[in-house]
Amino acid sequence: MPENQSLLHQMEQMLHWKKSKKFYAEKLNITEDEVDALIRELRNSETAENDAEVGNYIGELEDQIVRFFEDVQKGTGEVVFNSKEEIKSLDELIEKCKIDTDKWEITKYVQNYWGNAETPHYQVKAWLGKKNNEQVFQDSFISFLEAYQPVSPEIMAPKFESSKEDACLVINKQDSHLNKLDIEGNNDINERFAIYIEKVETILNQAALSNNITDIKYIIGSDEFNSEFTNTTTKGTPQQNILSYHSAFQRICDHEINVINLLLQKSSDIEVIFVAGNHDEFVGWHLASWLQTYFRNEERVSFDISPRYRKYVSYGSSAMMFNHGDALKPAKLAGLFPMEYKEAWSNHENFYIFTGDKHHEVSLDFNGIKFFQLPAFSTAKSSWDDKNGYTITKGEVTGFLIDFDYGITNIFKQYL
């Protein structure tokens, strides 16, 4: 063995001379066949060493990113990752390969396996696509929504006086047409908001002089916007508006937040009731749904946002129906009232129907069922109003004070 090792060493040194087998045989005093055997042994030894180096290299590369390529012009990329363990999910792949999901989305990936149970080897190749601006915005907006916590001021409930009787205040916001274009040029929508809030606050203060306002029924919808997002009524009649749909929706939502926060300062319980109008039936519902979500953590505010056209509520001895008034005549509504509210009808002594739509006041009595058609909560006049002579009726904000036992005891009016 030592002699063979000596020959191998001498043979390895002489191979650099690049001579013939006969030359090597003469120098080592061996046959040419023995020279062939020594060369084969040297080559086998070199291959083993190379394999060992490759094995060590692969071992070092496992659990490492071995290749990342980005095509800047095409907005694509590739990443290759070696692992000792199988990648079992897309989230694990993203974590292991350190893929920036704000920049990239994975379009596809494959995983290869070789080795055996004792020495498994996995390699994952992922193809990447760069996110466009719209996708980046969408992802960031979704992340924002997931973490969003609405911030609204904490409003303390009012303190009531034991010497005053409890009562409910009904503010039936009919036909406010806040986004309606006025042909006389009074088109500052923020001024409309301010005037409306001022009038509502005046009514709240007037009602609180005589009673503890424990409950408020606040009606929204009923042509609050003036049109659907199509700039037409729900049936398709074109309308002229001040602002675009998007701007108007945002501002009217903010306005209603301010109104409800005002009501919370004056009453312990607020019920917001959506009543569909004929100008903005669907947009009005979107507003009600948005407000319900905004105030979802406010225990003192409840919502009825169902799309039903007639809404029924009770307070003490009084039963109330709310409807926009565009489809059914007063007598028809009075006939429906006891039938549709029959499960609670006998528990009440006072019965009231509140509508709008016609923009002027009407009061009727149907065998004890009192009907109130309210004026518009708006002074805006359109070309159609002017053509048909609907320019004289005053806009009003109206509040009904309902005593727990005796029903309506006062009606408050503030002219716009």
**Quick check: 44 pLDDT over 80?**
no
Q: Residue 215 — very low, low, confident or very high, per pLDDT cuts 50/70/90?
A: very high
**For residue 43, what is the enclosing H or E element?**
helix 32-61
Where do runs of H (alpha helix) occur along 215-364? 245-266, 281-294, 330-340, 342-345
Distance CA 39, CA 53 (A): 21
Closest Cα partner for 106 from 81, 129, 137?
129
Q: Are strands 407-415 and 396-403 parallel, antiparallel or unpaired?
A: antiparallel
Report phi then psi at 157, rounded to 5: -65, 145
pLDDT in tens, 154-185: 788 888 998 999 999 999 999 999 999 999 99
> Which residues on adjacent β-strands are paired with residue 212?
166
| Sign (positive or negative) of CA dihedral 279, 282, 283, 287 | positive
Please give the DSSP secondary-structure letter assigned to residue 370. Answer: E
Q: Residue 90 — very low, low, confident or very high, per pLDDT cuts 50/70/90?
A: confident
Tokens of 291: 């407000």
Distance CA 346, CA 142 (A): 50
Report phi then psi at 18, rounded to 5: 55, 55
What pLDDT, on the 0 to 100 scale, is given for residue 106?
82
